[in-house]
Amino acid sequence: MGMGVAIPHGTSQAKGTVKKTGIVLMQYPEGIDFGEEKAQLVFGIAGIGDEHLDLLSKICSMLEEEEVLEKLKTTSDMEWVFEQLK
């Protein structure tokens, strides 16, 4: 995705095995190789039906603010992260 953010894609075959929509956020402050770039944030998304689209929209809106993006890369305040995803 760029900006130090990665959102890996699942497979169409696995889509039918999703039992609950959810999201996971992994922080790599030093960065981890992801394609040709380094990612400090990796989001994992699982969605029933098209529910993953709502999660993607929330992530994109959240990342538009540079201050929020930078804080997400290092914060340990999970309540703050949850608030950002609302």
pLDDT for 10-21, tens place per residue?
777 777 788 888
d(CA 8, CA 5) in angstroms, rounded, equals 10
b/e 48-82 (16+ beta carbons within 10 angstroms → b):
eeeebeebbeebeeebeeeeebeebbeeeeeeebe
Q: Which residues form the catalytic set?
A: 9
Q: Which tens digits make up the pLDDT trace of 1-59? A: 678 999 887 777 777 788 888 888 999 989 999 888 899 999 988 888 877 888 888 88
For the whole prediction, is pTM greater than 0.85? Answer: no
Average pLDDT for 52-76: 87
How confident is the model at residue 1, as a pLDDT? 67
* CA distance from start to end of the chain: 21
